[in-house]
Structure 1
Amino acid sequence: MKLLPTHRAHDAQHLIQRWRMLARAAGCRATVLCEVAGMPVLALESAAAKAGEPAVYLSSGVHGDEAAAAWGLLTWAEKHLKDLRRGSFLIAPCLNPAGLVLNTRLDHRGLDINRRFHDSSDEICGPWQQWITGRAMRFGLCLHEDYDGQGIYLYELNHARKTQGHEIIGRCAPTIAPDPRTNIDGQRARGGVIRRRTLPTHLPGMPEAIELHVRGCPVTLTFESPSEFALDTRVRVQVKFVESALAVLP
């Protein structure tokens, strides 16, 4: 697997260029949702998604200080070009490029866009809403990192009774072990899985995964790798997470 030189971790222009090249190679349509700080916020759709086949939604780069999520998604895509050509995918590769450059959770306005996905007037989240509206989705994967993480973990929103996250975490565990905490960010966790049975009401705004779920995506998983671990290892576990979710989820 081709890994990322450390000095390129926050080079959003290079990341975007790689995604443009990948879109051409995979036959995906690349759309500019908006521009922020002179950089495009890209969205990709595969040919099957464009034709209306229920899609897998993939996103990263919502928080700019979580670089391995953004590079992990790109590394997965470059590794699986054939899957992108054949399958149905909607991809938001870096929703906060200015934050990536600045190495900050916030965007170019000093806002956390992961509390603004409900807001149709937001300059990033509004175009994102327009892009996903009416799309049929199989499931959604939102890639993140956690400064306080002691291992990998995920949040699961799922209409089905069966929890899928444990098998996915198990497949990723040889790369980075699950976070051992039983309470993560005020949520009960078991083996690195937080299964949300109800939508949280304490947040000041709507995160991406919850907004997707409210809009009809039957399963959303938010994956967190520990951002204090080595970058290459975090990139590898992000790749493994996407591969594992695609293998496990229907």
Structure 2
Amino acid sequence: MKLLPNHRAHDARHLIRRWRMLAREAGCQVRTLCQVNELPVIAIESAAAQQGVPAAYLSSGVHGDEAGAAWGLLAWAEKHVRELQREAFLIAPCLNPIGLMLNTRLDHRGFDLNRRFHETEDAICGPWQRWITGRAMRFGLCLHEDYDAQGIYLYELNHARKTAGHVIIERCARVLAPDLRTKIDGQRAKGGVIRRRTLPAHLPGMPEAIELHQRGCPLTLTFETPSEFDLDQRVSAQVRFIEACLEVLPAS
């Protein structure tokens, strides 16, 4: 069964409409962080998150040419409405809606948002910072795709000594096989997991996952599906990744 009929993978307006409908059904609050060329950048808060319960943070759509991540997050949410009603979630469904519409990595200004999350005055990342500041988080999941990937893989930033990523990758492997390269994007990898024990010394800018980690989120996982693979398979892998994280990672 096709998850995205009629080639709507880059229809940001349709994606946002679906999230608004889902939020009403699940009793979640929709915040507009900012407007970008008449499109809202929205954030979703479950009722438990609004009450201050430590939340799972989920985001996608930072890069507009990674449609499988954005639609995978929505597909997971539509499948797990009851979980959204009960548990604490902070969700950024599509931080770069113009990029999604144009099928480009960059935003409407030509910026890579994933190098600007430290910028307090940025038109998108500034409001994002103000939204998450002071929010208690269990973990953060940043959903992405990679043109060069040969399978699924993830980056892990974790305060704990034990790596969480291998079990999660194993639970996703029935949907898409792991990328088994020993070096991915210049980083040492094992079984589709890149564990960062220390932050890179020199960055051209601050990625979302690292900014979250520096703000106290104890564990961040950046998940990558191969953007050259079948779209429905990528969406299914993103759904399974979120499910696996919620199965494996501690409740508090």
* Same structural fold, with TM-score higher than 0.5 when normalized by the shorter chain: yes
- SS of equivalent residue, structure 2 residue 35: strand
Match for residue 28 of structure 2? 28
Query: Residue 16 in 1 paired to residue 48 in 2?
Result: no
Letter in 2 for 1:110: G
Letter in 2 for 1:114: N
Letter in 2 for 1:140: G
Match for residue 90 of structure 1? 90
Query: Residue 248 in 1 paired to residue 224 in 2?
Result: no
TM-fit CA distance, 1:51: 0.3
Match for residue 235 of structure 2? 235
Match for residue 131 of structure 1? 131
Match for residue 190 of structure 2? 190
In the alignment, the residues of structure 2 paired with residue 221 and residue 111 of structure 1 have an alpha-carbon distance, to the nearest angstrom, of: 23
TM-score (norm 1): 0.99
TM-fit CA distance, 1:5: 1.8
In the alignment, the residues of structure 1 paired with residue 201 and residue 124 of structure 2 have an alpha-carbon distance, to the nearest angstrom, of: 23
Match for residue 203 of structure 1? 203
TM-fit CA distance, 1:4: 1.3
Gaps of 5+ in 1: none
TM-fit CA distance, 1:2: 6.9
Q: What pairs up with 1:56-71 in 2 under 5 angstroms?
A: 56-71=56-71
RMSD: 0.9
TM-fit CA distance, 1:50: 0.3
Decide whether the 8 Å contact of 1:2 with 1:75 is kept in 2.
no
- SS of equivalent residue, structure 2 residue 244: helix
Residues 124-173 of structure 1: CA distance to partner in whole angstroms, max 9, x if unpaired? 00000000000000000000000000000000000000000000000000
Q: What pairs up with 1:50-129 in 2 under 5 angstroms?
A: 50-129=50-129
TM-fit CA distance, 1:203: 1.7
Letter in 1 for 2:128: W
In the alignment, the residues of structure 1 paired with residue 57 and residue 24 of structure 2 have an alpha-carbon distance, to the nearest angstrom, of: 19
Q: Which runs of at least 4 in structure 1 moved beyond 3 Å after TM superposition?
A: none
Gaps of 5+ in 2: none
Letter in 2 for 1:11: D
Q: What pairs up with 1:140-151 in 2 under 5 angstroms?
A: 140-151=140-151
Q: Between the two proteins, what is the percent identity of the paired residues? A: 77
